[in-house]
A = this chain, B = another copy of it.
Amino acid sequence: MTNDPIRVLSTRPLDGVPGHEGSEACSVDNPASRVIRELLARVGDKWSMLVIGVLHDGPLRFTELQRKIDGISHRMLTQTLRSLERDGLVTRTSYPEIPPRVEYAATALGRSLSEPVIELARWASAHHSEILDAREAFDDQHEASATLR
């Protein structure tokens, strides 16, 4: 059993805060929250989005993926691929040759996911500098520690 990480998600309790019958709408069941949580559980990990992104250009073998992604360990690549396969986002086809060859490809579902992901990436690259500026300004203003001692 690979009872390690990425065994993941979704089967979370998400219990409905009993004890509070609630004065107003209590937003636990707010669909947006639930969806975002599940989303994060699925692609919020360190590598899933990258794999999805890389596979968008076409099928790749295990080792090719590992070289493309650079920084991912053997172990995490295996696990990430497994969980993506489980969720129907990639397919795994192994050719019984010597040496063995295994190809991973994005499914239609996987490719459909990469579109909004690319949207997000576009946002990030468009506003990257703004964020850096804001961060610098914030850090400047909070050098209170220096002025203090």
Instruction: Give me the interface of A with B, judged by CB distance under 8 Å.
Output: 1, 10, 17, 26-28, 30-33, 35-40, 42, 44-46, 49-50, 53-54, 67-71, 85-89, 109, 112-113, 115-125, 127-128, 130-135, 137-139, 145
Contacts and interface: CB of A to CB of B under 8 A. Distances in A.
B69 A33 contact: yes
Contacts of A31: 125
A67 B33 contact: no
Contacts of A17: 70
Given A39-B121, A53-B33, A116-B119, A70 B27 contact: yes
Majority SS at the chain A contact face: helix
Contacts of A42: 124, 131
B53 A32 contact: yes
Given A27-B54, A116-B116, A134 B36 contact: no
